[in-house]
Amino acid sequence: MPLAYMSDANKVAVVTGSSSGIGYETSLALAREGFLTYATMRNLEKGGSIKSDSDKENLPLKIMQLDVTDDASVGKAVQSIISDSGRIDILVNNAGYGLTGAFEDLSLDEIKQQYETNFFGVVRVTQAVLPIMRKQKSGKIINISSGAGRFGYPGGSAYVSTKFAMEGLSESLSYELDPFGIKVILVEPGVIRTNFGNGMVVAKKSQDPASAYLSMTRKMNDVLGQLMQNGSPPSLVANLVLQAAKSDNPNLRYLAGKDVKQWVDQKKKMSDKEFFNMMNQLFK
């Protein structure tokens, strides 16, 4: 049955990285609207809180192990969902983490690990789900990108480039999948008050007192901490995902947060040099 003609109670949603933050709130938001929601995560031991919240509200939510960096884990999870529910209508690619540090200080292994989760994780899960959606002739793939998919900043070369890659992938996919009734959506959060900062990985060499970029890295961490204090709640992102999931004609992009809307607007209005000077001043 085409997605547009189904009630939310008959639709199946899959969310990656659901143990905390945006994925946590998104899984609960979808389940509260009646979507049968599979809240997936790499480590099931971290699923206690979302299970507790779900049980309290008697939500249609199931917790499932899925490691976006592991082919076998992804294949097993998708097959289990299809065996259990017969379809997948919404895929929210949310799993990811931040790697920070000057580019010269980043090891190739650190960059590869960042891409393996943030970009190839999206590729891996999406390719597993696409044949199902194509057979259904319906579906929505909602990729949690970032304002960092629109502009760079010092110390963010690895993380930012994964989000730029996600933007290009998603925009290209939107053309390919439209004839099959499948919509691709990008949600681009600004700074969100989650434990994302706690999970951020700092490049080993950037922590070395001998690093030529030590002062920049410290300033970057200070600025990020200040921005986090005034960040938007993860529920803001979850509500935008829900809006896109329920829309018959969703936008390609949704900006999440006043901060990112302001930055993107300035990026459009300024020359590259003007925007560079503004960002450079922020991190000096």
40: tokens are 């997936």
Catalytic, out of 24, 38, 159, 254: 159
Cα–Cα distance between 270 and 151 in angstroms, integer? 12
Told to judge if 159 belongs to the known catalytic residues of this protein, a careful annotator would answer yes
So which residues are the catalytic ones?
159
